[in-house]
Amino acid sequence: MVLGRLVASSLLAGLFAISTAHAADIRDRTIKVGIGLSADHPQGQAVARFAEIVSQKSGGKIKVRLFAGGALGNDVTMISALQGGTQEMTIPDTSTLVGISGLKDFGLINLPFLFQNGQEADALLDGPFGQKLMAKLPEKGLIGFGFWENGFRQVTNSRRPITKAEDFAGLKLRVIQNPLFIDTFRELGANAVPMPFTEVYTALETKTIDGQENPLATILASKFYEVQKHTVMSNHIYSVWAFLMSKRFWDKLTPDEQALITDAANEAKDFERKTIRDFEKTALEELKAKGMEVTTLSDDEMAKLREKTKAVRDKFTEEFGKDSATEMMSEIERVRSGKK
């Protein structure tokens, strides 16, 4: 009896979604979503969830197709494709938006040693400061649906364990194609090599570079443990993605379709954050099981890293916008104090 009621309820819900879609102004459309990571990464899983929600809400009229593993290009080329109207959606690291005129303050999110935890970042990015950043996107040909977690970035390499701040010196490390990341590792004494993510595994395998830096979920999902031996829990930068749509495509959508996509994107954001945080909890142990040696720096060594990167924080606070930085830090302090 209970099973019968559940099946009936499910069928009714599906029929309601379809009838609602027919009643609303929803048309047959296909949305291409390109990402640089693999389809089984939490980011890819969240896109799959987004596709399910959109299909359900549109009665199957709007189809979302995932192109993973850099099939449509890297973050920079896909953002350009969105602006040109040849691709509908992508989810780049926010650091890549800094290269677009007028979006420099997106870079403030990546200041070294800014956040203490992901929940602190959620409060900032879902609040007035994050909304203000998103409001800058339409004039650049982009529509933003919020921030997804990438996570705290850790360093891996094939040469030696890192147990103190000085151990970064001389390592050839791939970094995101962004001056803040380059300067951060130069200040630590490493040789920072900017490179598209899609080229990283091969560069590690051929030892063109010694290592790279990414959150644990990406390290595991990208199988870097096959070509890297050492991981250090450096937590040097907190990294987030922006869920973006081409404004040219957005402007073609009906109001009903825009509302549907917005609702689905909000649900997908919550799903992504939960999924990647659950994944992170097990990723460290899985990496160890696959042979990676993991080190954790002492409080004194972490303090050295913060001191070594102070010049980077000061430089990019000025470059990205001192007023925006002041606003951001004020909001972070409010969050930490528990005030509303």
pLDDT tens sequence across 6-62: 444 444 444 445 455 556 899 999 999 999 999 999 999 999 999 999 999 999 999
| Mean pLDDT lowest among 194-198, 271-275, 286-290 | 194-198
Q: How far apart are CA 309 and CA 328, in angstroms?
A: 19
Query: What is 23-103+120-149+240-279's CATH superfamily?
Result: Bacterial extracellular solute-binding protein, family 7 (3.40.190.170)
Q: With residue 94 as reference, give the H or E element that holds it.
A: none
How are beta strands 191-194 and 172-175 bridged, if at all? parallel
Q: What is the pTM of this model?
A: 0.85
pLDDT in tens, 101-117: 899 999 999 999 999 89
Asked if the domains 23-103+120-149+240-279 and 154-237+283-334 are classified in one and the same CATH topology, the answer is: yes
pLDDT of 5 strictly over 60: no
Closest CA to 109 of 336, 321, 334: 321
Q: Is 114 exposed, middle or buried (0-12, 13-18, 19+ CB in 10 A)?
A: middle
- Could you tell me if 177 and 76 are in contact, meaning their C-beta atoms sit under 8 angstroms apart? yes
Q: How far apart are CA 58 and CA 149, in angstroms?
A: 27
pLDDT of 321 strictly over 80: yes
154-237+283-334 maps to which CATH number?
3.40.190.170
pLDDT of 175 strictly over 50: yes
pLDDT in tens, 68-91: 999 999 999 999 999 999 999 999
- pLDDT for the residue 21: 54
Instruction: Report residue 178's pLDDT band, with 50, 70 and 90 as the boundaries.
Output: confident
How are beta strands 230-233 and 154-157 bridged, if at all? antiparallel
pLDDT in tens, 205-260: 999 999 999 999 999 989 999 999 999 999 999 999 999 999 999 999 999 999 99
Closest CA to 212 of 283, 153, 170: 153
Instruction: Report residue 192's pLDDT band, with 50, 70 and 90 as the boundaries.
Output: very high
Dihedral sign from CA coordinates of 54, 60, 62, 66: positive
User: What number is the average pLDDT over the span 178-196?
Assistant: 95
For tokens 């007023």, the residue is 323
Instruction: Report residue 177's pLDDT band, with 50, 70 and 90 as the boundaries.
Output: confident
- pLDDT for the residue 23: 66
- pLDDT for the residue 22: 54
Closest CA to 110 of 125, 123, 100: 125
SS3 187: helix
Instruction: Report residue 340's pLDDT band, with 50, 70 and 90 as the boundaries.
Output: low
pLDDT in tens, 138-163: 999 999 999 999 999 999 999 999 99
pLDDT in tens, 123-135: 999 999 999 999 9
How are beta strands 211-214 and 154-157 bridged, if at all? antiparallel
User: What number is the average pLDDT over the span 294-316?
Assistant: 96
Q: Over the range 23-45, which residues count as b (16 or more CB within 10 Å of their CB) and which as e?
A: ebebeebebbbbbbbebebbbbb
| Angle ∠(258,264,270) on CA atoms, nearest 5 | 140
Domain ranges of the chain: 23-103+120-149+240-279, 154-237+283-334
